[in-house]
Amino acid sequence: MYKLRWQPPYDWAWMLGFLGARAVAGVEEVRDGRYVRSYACAGHRGVITAEPDDATATLMVTLSDGLQPVAEHCLQRLACLFDLQCDPQTVGAALGELGEARPGLRLPGCMDPFEQGVRAILGQLVSVAMAAKLTANVAQRYGEPLADAPGFICFPTAQQLANADPHALKALGMPLKRAQALIFLAQSACNGLLPLTPPEDVEQGVKLLQTFPGIGRWTASYFALRGWQATDIFLPDDYLIKQRFAGMTPAQTRRYAERWQPWRSYALLHIWYTEGWEPLKK
């Protein structure tokens, strides 16, 4: 058993609900207040179980035997996924009134940036549920079962998807261009073109992603938000953001959001998940 600590407050009900709605069948599940998933790293594979203990502000982590040799890496990735390094007081001070209602909101990261890239592409123009289903289809088709954990599969690696037949991917329920975008993403991860760690200049990194086929500004920004856990991303072109900022152009929305720098990613989450929020009238 391993323990990871966080600084309260932390809205675990929201975080587990967010991850549960996006859970990829066979790879991960959220049940009874726990997050459970398969994971592979450097040839080691197994299952991770993470359960928060609010009383001690501690995340209790269990790794199956196969992951013990890479325990430190697994814990680092869990800290990213759950945003455990966040200082909610610092973020709250920057957000002001926007963050007062939900001071425990955290920025969901990811266990694997390449996996998050696949999820971002498959999430384009479909519901959250459909995105999870499509991702599960890809995982079931190309992932490898865990022998010591029946029912679990490891998410396919970049190498596995780089060699996929685009028509075989299309048959899983996606447009051919999206299948080709997945393959290009996988090839880019293999050859080093896709940054799997946060670049020094996130804005330039987002621009680079937009040169990939099938990746526009929204997808690139969303990947930066979760794949790199960039803390200062805002999506003025997002459908819900446009609704929240009714009557404002994306440029006006972008300027309005500057007040929340360098924590605009957290501001974005609060706006997304605060029903009826609207900007202050000048």
What does the pLDDT look like over 49-107, one tens digit per residue?
999 999 999 999 999 999 999 999 999 999 999 999 999 999 999 999 999 999 999 99
Q: Are residues 235 and 223 in the same domain?
A: no
Q: Which of 41, 54, 64 is nearest to 15 (CA)?
A: 54
Query: Is residue 105 situated within a structural domain?
Result: no
Rounded to 10 deg, the angle between the 128-142 and 113-122 helix axes is 120
- Mean pLDDT within 220-225: 96
Query: Is residue 209 situated within a structural domain?
Result: yes
Query: Is residue 112 situated within a structural domain?
Result: no
What pLDDT digit, counting tens, does each position of 5-26 carry? Answer: 999 999 999 999 999 999 999 9
Q: Are residues 211 and 273 in the same domain?
A: no
Q: Are residues 240 and 281 in the same domain?
A: yes
| pLDDT at 216 exceeding the cut of 80 | yes
Query: Is residue 158 situated within a structural domain?
Result: yes
Cβ(104)–Cβ(88) below 8 Å: yes
Query: Is residue 257 situated within a structural domain?
Result: yes
Query: Is residue 106 situated within a structural domain?
Result: no
Catalytic residue among 83, 112, 232, 238: 238
pLDDT of residue 148: 87
Sorting pLDDT into bands at 50, 70 and 90, what band is 154? very high
Rounded Cα distance between 183 and 189, Å, is: 10
**% residues pLDDT > 90 (the chain):** 96
Q: Which of 240, 270, 277 is nearest to 94 (CA)?
A: 270
The residue segments making up the domain with residue 256 are 231-282
Sorting pLDDT into bands at 50, 70 and 90, what band is 122? very high
Q: Are residues 95 and 186 in the same domain?
A: no
Q: Are residues 85 and 126 in the same domain?
A: no
Q: Are residues 135 and 180 in the same domain?
A: yes
- Mean pLDDT within 182-210: 96
Rounded Cα distance between 194 and 189, Å, is: 5
Query: Is residue 88 situated within a structural domain?
Result: yes
CATH number of domain containing 240? 1.10.1670.10
pLDDT of residue 157: 96
Q: Are residues 15 and 81 in the same domain?
A: yes
Q: Are residues 66 and 140 in the same domain?
A: no
What pLDDT digit, counting tens, does each position of 30-44 carry? Answer: 999 999 999 999 999
pLDDT of residue 281: 76
Query: Is residue 109 situated within a structural domain?
Result: no
CA 228 to chain centre: 9
Q: By 3-state DSSP, what share of the chain in percent is helix, strand and coil, each rounded to 5?
A: 50, 15, 40
| pLDDT at 282 exceeding the cut of 80 | no
Measured at the alpha carbon of residue 141, what is the angle toward residues 32 and 157, in degrees to the nearest 5? Answer: 80
CATH number of domain containing 146? 1.10.340.30
Please state the domain count of the chain.
3
Q: Are residues 48 and 7 in the same domain?
A: yes
pLDDT of residue 147: 87
| Helix/strand/coil for 148 | coil
**Catalytic residue status for 11:** no
pLDDT of residue 214: 95
Mean pLDDT of the chain: 96
CA 196 to chain centre: 13
H-assigned helices in 143-174: 158-162, 166-170
H-assigned helices in the chain: 12-21, 71-81, 88-95, 113-122, 128-142, 158-162, 166-170, 176-191, 202-209, 217-227, 239-244, 250-257, 264-272
Q: Does the N-terminal peptide bond of residue 145 adopt cis geometry, omega within 30 degrees of 0? A: no
